[in-house]
Structure 1
Amino acid sequence: MGLLGILVGLGLLIWLAFRGWSVLLLAPIAALIAAAFDRQPLLANWTQTFMSSAAEFLAQFFPIFLLGAVFGKLMDDSGAVVAVANFITRSLGERRVILAVVLAGALVTYGGVSLFVAFFVIVPMAQTLFRKAAIPHRLVPAAVILGTSTFTMSAMPGTPSIQNAIPMPFFGTTPFAAPGLGLIASMIMLGIGLWWLHRAEKTARRANEGYGDAPSSTPESAADDERLRGRAATAREFDPAEIHHGHHSEVAAPVLNTILPLIVVVVINLVMSLVVLPRLDFSFLAEQRWGNTSLSAVAGVWSVIVALAAAIAAVILCNWTRLPALRQTMDAGANASVLPALSVASLVGFGAVVASLPAFDMVRDWVLGIEGGPLVSLAVATNLLAALTGSASGGLTIALDALGQTYMEIAAQAGIDPGILHRVAVIGAGTLDILPHNGAVVSLLAICGLTHRESYFDIVMVGIVNSVIALAAVIAIGTMFGSF
């Protein structure tokens, strides 16, 4: 009965979330259903297990949600994201439209700009470019997904995405874990994705398909859709409802002023992770008042926090005159971080309740018993949970909360570098999360004015197939040569 309760609770969570219900309500209800089937105390599971795990997640990662959303909103309102996208377009020319859209999305998201900020800026640009180049507008979502939601989210070393930050406290790693493997995975994802998009473009030109009819909706209308807002909140770290709050600059930003903050994110993250923090004495963290922890458990998160804070200062200093309503902009960014953080924390609470149930032992044994070794079973676990929840960050945290310590013990016995565990877990979570019910996919299609029937197959090819191949390559290479 306990296993049936887990399945019923999870099924209810997925079905109602897809229909637009708030995860803030669904997650505790689903957790209590699972506990009831297993005849466990309900109130204790809610207040002691669910809320404790959700609170712990917020304590660890809310600063990244907060600073990431504020930085993204500042970059948006200052016109920096538009300037970066226009610069790449001018540099590559109208003959490389698909590459321009992909690289524009990759640059801003790798530089720390929130996904939904990138969506609302890059989609209109992509639609204009695709229309001029007579490329079918049904390919716009796939091009945007490739640039914003694949290698820059999970594979590129040092990416400040919340997904790349989540494994760090579990494995004692940094944002640059297994950098060589991450670069290989990034090249595979980008290469296969671009090949598919160019192939689709050539096929469309031979059929004289053209751009197609005008989209059925606009980015503005999508931002105001409450059902989309609920789905989007579990997918990434920015609440779309705040996208039009604040004040957008009417003056174009110089390219240097827009690119410098993105560079600051990467450089400060690197310096903090590999140079500054390892050389300082943090032995005091072992004291009870600091949580009886260690530098390895907090260094990765600290590096990202400092990098984003420095980037916020940089974007304000570089674009002071283009931020006439600075307080409103920063308020909107701060507000945009709250719903996503609470939504993912609620998923984490649900996972904690499920993992605490006696019936979950069967699930754990099945996962750990998957043939192919710990890297394969870790990839399956993160893939499965991210697919079921429609959230890479939620699925990843649930998996590591339940199995992270076990995998660390297995790695220590087998001589496996924790960096490989980190990279496999993040890439795994960023693969099957791009299923039809994923909030980012649903939101992006709404912003583009398209349907799943029109565009989802190409999203699968550039968001799932290439990521699965990259994940398999990382596991194979990591198994043979270790971490590098």
Structure 2
Amino acid sequence: METYISLVGIVIAFCTLIFLMMRGVNLFITVMIASLIAIVSGNMNIYKTLTENYMTGFADYYRSYYLVFFCGTLLGTTMELSGAATSIAKWVTGKFKSMAYLAIPLATGIICYGGVTAIISIFATFPIALAIFRENNIPRRLMPAALYFGSCTFAMIAPGAPQVQNIIPTQGFGVDLMAGTVVGFISSILMLLIGSFWLSMMIKNAKKAGEVFTSRDDDKDEKSGSLPSPLISFIPMLVTVIAINLKNKAGENIIPIEYALLMGIATTIILMYRRFDRAELTEAVFQSVPKAAVAIFNICTIVGFGTVIKSTPAFELLVDAVIHIPGNYLVGVSVGTALLAGFCGSASGGLGIITPIFYDIFGAMQGVSYAAIARVMAIASSSLDSLPHSGSVNTSIGLCGESHKSAYIPIFCLSVVTPAICTAVAVILFTLFPGWP
């Protein structure tokens, strides 16, 4: 009975989390309320669970990734201050005319596929997106969706992508990153096409309704006068991507991501040093500290909640239920992965939990494809991981100066519904054409 009460508590906690986030309640307060519901319903010690389970998950993530967030924030800021971001934005706008906004998810996706983490790619391309949206007078509330769609959907789950969402299931089942190549790329390209079309329709309808771009007090003004050439402006991002992907003979990264980001920052300053005002640059460095802290705080808050849920009596029952959904085994794989990713508010978090469980179940079975399982898991993880409590969603919305009320529905359409459709397509294709590589 205690287990079932705990299960009901988890469901109530999860619903409360989403409801309060959509109502605009402070993230930390929301998570604390949801955590208390789960703790009390699980008959656990409140003080011990919060100080040990919650804070351990919170602190571990902060310790591991704060420097990455700081360097990523500073890279985006230096590109904005130098005029490099505006230069790229104007070049893209000139090439794609009124469709320049479609270059935002595409550019972000290319950076992600090159190995840059989703959050960092959002930081790096935000100033470019800001300039493009301003240049084309596109409603600002759609900016988080454009950025998030490019970083957290089609690129991170494509075959070969060096992202944790691709690495966890492929390594877990002993297959390479290119597993399920044909179906994987079909699903990834379909995701890009559907999302891009949907984004175009959103922008068209918003403009038709009279919506315009609105500036924020902390937006940097566009650089007046001459700008650096687009070629020079691309170099810092190119240096960062190349540095991150340099590997030794064992396939291990040579340069840590923090160093790679610092190389991008240094390249920006060296190539465009005459365009920086020393006082302005110093202020940018100082401001990057709290900006990075706020961004990572959002994610740590959700990670801590996931740690609390993992400690509840009903968690094992919940996991067991989602992995034994009847029907084609790939249906159970996709639904189970999506649900756990949604529950954790993180694709990698959900995959980290479900991958070893799925391997224990399917590892001894005959007639199952490890490549298909790994690819379906990767694709499915990119859907419900984008619910309102997701740390990446909160970071994207906060970075753009928007709220869940104004910006979340577009994110839901592009990054929950679209990946869910493509997950179903992947399951169907693997079922109809099991011999495809």
Report the TM-score range of the alignment, normalised by the length of the smaller protein.
0.7 to 0.9
Percent identity at matched positions?
A: 23
Q: 1:125 aligns with which of 132, 146, 164?
A: 132
1:63-142 mapped onto 2 (5 Å cutoff): 63-92=67-96, 94=97, 97-98=98-99, 100-108=100-108, 110-111=110-111, 114-115=121-122, 118-119=125-126, 121-123=128-130, 125-126=132-133, 128-129=135-136
Aligned to 2:308: 353
**Alignment partners' CA distance in 2, 1:432 and 1:318:** 41
**Alignment partners' CA distance in 2, 1:159 and 1:249:** 35
| CA deviation map 1:234-259 (0-9, x unaligned) | xxxxxxxxx65xx9755512212211
Instruction: Return the TM-score normalized by structure 1.
Output: 0.68
Does the 8 Å contact 2:153/2:415 carry over to 1? no
Aligned to 2:354: 403
Q: 1:430 aligns with which of 382, 394, 399?
A: 382
Aligned to 2:424: 472
Aligned to 2:268: 315
- Answering whether residue 278 of structure 2 is matched by residue 331 of structure 1, we say no
**Alignment partners' CA distance in 2, 1:73 and 1:32:** 38
**Alignment partners' CA distance in 2, 1:253 and 1:331:** 25
- Answering whether residue 215 of structure 2 is matched by residue 213 of structure 1, we say no
1:146-185 mapped onto 2 (5 Å cutoff): 148-149=150-151, 151=153, 154-156=156-158, 164-165=163-164, 168=167, 177-178=177-178, 180=181, 183-185=185-187
Letter in 2 for 1:125: I
Does the 8 Å contact 1:374/1:410 carry over to 2? no
Give the aligned length. Answer: 413
Q: Report SS of the residue matched to 2:228.
A: coil
Q: Aligned Cα RMSD in Å?
A: 4.4
Aligned to 1:270: 245
Q: Report SS of the residue matched to 2:60.
A: helix
* Distance verdict in 2 for CA 1:369–1:398, change over 3 Å: same
Instruction: Return the TM-score normalized by structure 2.
Output: 0.75
Q: Report SS of the residue matched to 2:246.
A: helix
* Distance verdict in 2 for CA 1:126–1:268, change over 3 Å: same
Mind listing any 5+ residue stretches in structure 2 that lack a counterpart?
A: none
**Alignment partners' CA distance in 1, 2:435 and 2:245:** 22
Aligned to 2:37: 33
* Distance verdict in 2 for CA 1:269–1:7, change over 3 Å: same
Letter in 2 for 1:107: A
Does the 8 Å contact 1:79/1:249 carry over to 2? yes
**Alignment partners' CA distance in 2, 1:379 and 1:128:** 40
Letter in 2 for 1:81: A
* Distance verdict in 2 for CA 1:79–1:400, change over 3 Å: same
Shift of 1:30: 2.5
**Alignment partners' CA distance in 1, 2:289 and 2:436:** 37
Does the 8 Å contact 2:343/2:350 carry over to 1? no
* Distance verdict in 2 for CA 1:142–1:75, change over 3 Å: closer
**Alignment partners' CA distance in 2, 1:47 and 1:60:** 19
**Alignment partners' CA distance in 1, 2:63 and 2:430:** 32
| CA deviation map 1:78-132 (0-9, x unaligned) | 222222121122223x3xx22x21114421564356436645642553464368x
Shift of 1:362: 1.6
Mind listing any 5+ residue stretches in structure 1 that lack a counterpart?
A: 132-136, 224-242, 280-298
Shift of 1:344: 1.4
Aligned to 2:14: 10
* Distance verdict in 2 for CA 1:465–1:188, change over 3 Å: same
| CA deviation map 1:291-344 (0-9, x unaligned) | xxxxxxxx5797644543432333232222233233322333333221222221
**Alignment partners' CA distance in 2, 1:334 and 1:372:** 50
* Distance verdict in 2 for CA 1:434–1:90, change over 3 Å: same
| CA deviation map 1:415-448 (0-9, x unaligned) | 8658963x65554343245567854786699769
**Alignment partners' CA distance in 1, 2:412 and 2:273:** 41
Aligned to 1:292: none
* Distance verdict in 2 for CA 1:40–1:196, change over 3 Å: closer
**Alignment partners' CA distance in 2, 1:335 and 1:139:** 23
* Distance verdict in 2 for CA 1:256–1:301, change over 3 Å: same
Aligned to 1:294: none
Does the 8 Å contact 1:434/1:441 carry over to 2? no
* Distance verdict in 2 for CA 1:346–1:467, change over 3 Å: same
Shift of 1:388: 5.8
Letter in 2 for 1:467: P
* Distance verdict in 2 for CA 1:148–1:70, change over 3 Å: same
Q: Report SS of the residue matched to 2:309.
A: helix
